[in-house]
Amino acid sequence: MSREAVSTASEAWDELDRELAADLGPGQPPATHPSLDELVAFQVGELEPGERERLLDHLAACSSCSLAVRETARHRAPEREGEPEALPEAEIDAAWRVTRERTVARPTAGVERFPPPRPATRPPRWLPLAATFLVAMGLGFLLGDRQASSPLVNPALVELLPASDGGTRGGEAPAVDPPQADGLHVLLAGRQTGGAGGSWTYRAVVRDARGRTVARVDGLRPDAAGRLSFVLRERPAPGSYVVELHPSAAGADAAALDTFPLELPKP
Amino acid sequence: MGPDDTDYETLFRRFYPLVLSFFRRRGFAGESAADLTQDVFERVYRAWEGYRGDAERSWIVQIATNVWKNELRRQMAQKRDMHVVSLDSRPGDDDDRALEPRDREDDPETSILARERRRRLRDALTRLPPQARRCALLRYQQGLKYREIADLLELSVGTVKSHLAQAKERLRGELEGEPALSGRSGGER
């Protein structure tokens, strides 16, 4: 083949590239996306072969998810774990000093760092009697607050960001550890109203995928960082949930200030 | 509540190199690796009271694995949220040549033909073998370079090129059955 012919064939091939780029892309983004847990499972190599194939098909069609996977690909599992590297004693000493400050030297480490919310106001004296009456009437469940008076030793902490902050960022629960964790400590971060020290109190309603109320916690006040948190003594079953945030004063039908997606993976 | 200080320090000194190596081998460098390692040992401290087993190494590795997954999840959530699809940009080739789309829709008749052509191409795409189809989509829809496609699909660059060549041949075959648009002389259907 002559040099001119090769050149012409190469140009035609490149021209085809440009034509295909013009004709095929960019397409419509898919209407649905895998959960972040599925993307993580892909990245760490925990997907079954069939699931992996389906996810690859999605990545090929979704620039948003493929970017998320490509940008974190350098953090994939290594091919070989190997022995830990030897570290200078001074480096371990320095790390221990920092860790010590953040654990044993901090009396509030653990669950006390994020105390369960307290009621907005001191309850009136007649409230215990009224509550007893309601329980006796079989209406206690309507109160909905599942918090118990005794502190939990070690609730798993999940930090959620509102859906209005762009969707799922932080919306998936972290993998729960340790496995012995009891309860679920939900921290609502991101955009909120009121802020620390404000007089507003809030109500959080946890709903399952069908919109059924799983838990309701009222009287929440922002902490010093403007975040709200509450503790569910019993962790809900694995699945998709949404935490709705309302002002305490709002009626039951009022629209939520924010919603926080919550994905609880199977252990 | 926490473990006995001495026990905890012993455990920390014993497993700190293991956990730090765990993160370094997963591509976390410098302060990132140190911060994540710190996170692991804070969790270990908080969980100590509830831990009943004696397989400390595997327990700590499990916690490190969870911290690693959390970090991946956090980073991926940010990347996925930040991404904005540009309708104009076409990333370049391996040698930085841009795949500039050709404008061929400047009159109604051409526009109809172009839509039909796109439909046929997309149909043809669905008939490609899975890896060739993915390579073609990543190349022509997302404008990725060969290396980026290879990393995403965990293939070699050579395999990606081979899949793309196969896809192009098949798609060219699809295009050859239609009237040429480049001349814009009123192609017949």
Minimal CA separation from A132 to chain B, in Å: 34
CA-to-CA distance for B90 and B102, rounded, in angstroms?
12
How many other CB atoms are there within 10 angstroms of residue B152's CB atom? 22
A84 near B18, Cβ under 8 Å?
A: yes
- Shortest distance, CA B5 to any CA of chain A (angstroms): 7
Q: Would you say residue B179 has pLDDT above 50?
A: no
Residue B21 has pLDDT above 70, yes or no: yes
Query: ∠ CA A239-A243-A245 to the nearest 5 degrees?
Result: 175
Q: Give the DSSP per-residue string, chain A.
A: --HHHHHHHHHHHHHHHHHHHHHH-S-PPPS----HHHHHHHHTT-S-HHHHHHHHHHHHH-HHHHHHHHHTGGGSPPS---PPPP--HHHHHHHHHHHHHHTTT-TT-SGGGSPPP--SSPPPTTHHHHHHHHHHTT-GGGG-----SSPPS-PEEEEE--GGGTSSTTTBPPPP-STT--SEEEEE-SS-SS-TT-S--EEEEEEETTS-EEEEEEEE---TTS-EEEEESSPPPSEEEEEEEEETTS-TTSPPSEEEEEEE---
Cβ distance B1 to B49 under 8 Å?
Answer: yes
Q: Which amino acid is at A239?
A: G
ipTM of the predicted structure?
0.75
Q: Which has the closest alpha carbon to A221: A243, A197, A245, A242?
A: A197
Are B77 and A44 in contact (CB < 8 Å)?
no
B-chain residues within 8 Å CB-CB of A189? none
Give the Å distances, CA to CA, from A173 to A105, A241, B67: 28, 10, 12
Alpha-carbon torsion (A192, A193, A195, A201), positive or negative = negative
Encoded tokens for B109: 């008749």
Output the pLDDT for position A243: 85
Residue of chain B with shortest Cα separation from A165: B81
- As a whole number of angstroms, the distance between CA A12 and CA A2 comes to 15
Name residue A6's amino acid: V
Indicate yes or no: CB of B85 within 8 angstroms of CB of A96: no
Which one of B50, B67, B122 has the shortest CB-CB distance to A153?
B50
**8 Å CB contact between A191 and A217:** no
Residues of A in contact with B159 (CB under 8 A): none
Can you tell me the distance from the alpha carbon of B151 to that of B99, in angstroms, rounded to the nearest whole number? 20
Q: Which position has the higher pLDDT, B108 or B7? A: B7
Residue of chain A with shortest Cα separation from B9: A96
Range B177-188 average pLDDT: 41
Instruction: Indicate yes or no: CB of A178 within 8 angstroms of CB of B63.
Output: yes
CB A58, CB B133: distance < 8 Å = no
Chain A residues within 8 A of B71 when measuring between CB atoms: 75
Q: Which residues of B touch A21 (CB under 8 A)?
A: 90, 99-101, 139-140, 143
- Side-chain-facing half-sphere of B116: CA atoms under 13 Å: 15
B117 contacts in chain A (CB < 8 Å):
23
Q: Which residue has the higher pLDDT, B54 or A93?
A: A93
The candidate with the shortest Cα–Cα distance to A218, out of A131, A164, A147, is A147
Residue B163 confidence (pLDDT):
93
Please tell me the predicted confidence (pLDDT) of residue A69: 93
Residues of chain A predicted below pLDDT 70: 1-10, 12-13, 25-27, 106-159, 161-183, 189-199, 223-227, 251-254, 267
Q: Tell me which residue in A14, A85, A167 faces B81 most closely, judged by beta carbons.
A: A167
Which of the four pLDDT bands, split at 50, 70 and 90, describes residue B158? very high
Q: Could you give the 3-state DSSP secondary structure of residue B98? A: strand
pLDDT tens for each residue of B89-117: 444 444 434 354 454 555 666 677 777 87
CA distance B44 to A112: 16
Locate the chain A residue with the closest alpha carbon to B7. Answer: A104
Chain B contact probe: residue of A38, A59, A63, A172 with most B CBs at under 10 A: A63
Q: Which of A232-236, B84-88, B118-122, B173-177 has the highest mean pLDDT?
A: B118-122
- CA distances in angstroms from B189 to A82, B63, B110, listed in the order given: 64, 64, 12
Mean pLDDT for B153-164 is 93
| Residue with the larger pLDDT of the pair A215 and B16 | B16
Judged by CB atoms closer than 8 Å, whether chains meet at B13 and A96 is answered as yes
pLDDT given at position B64: 93
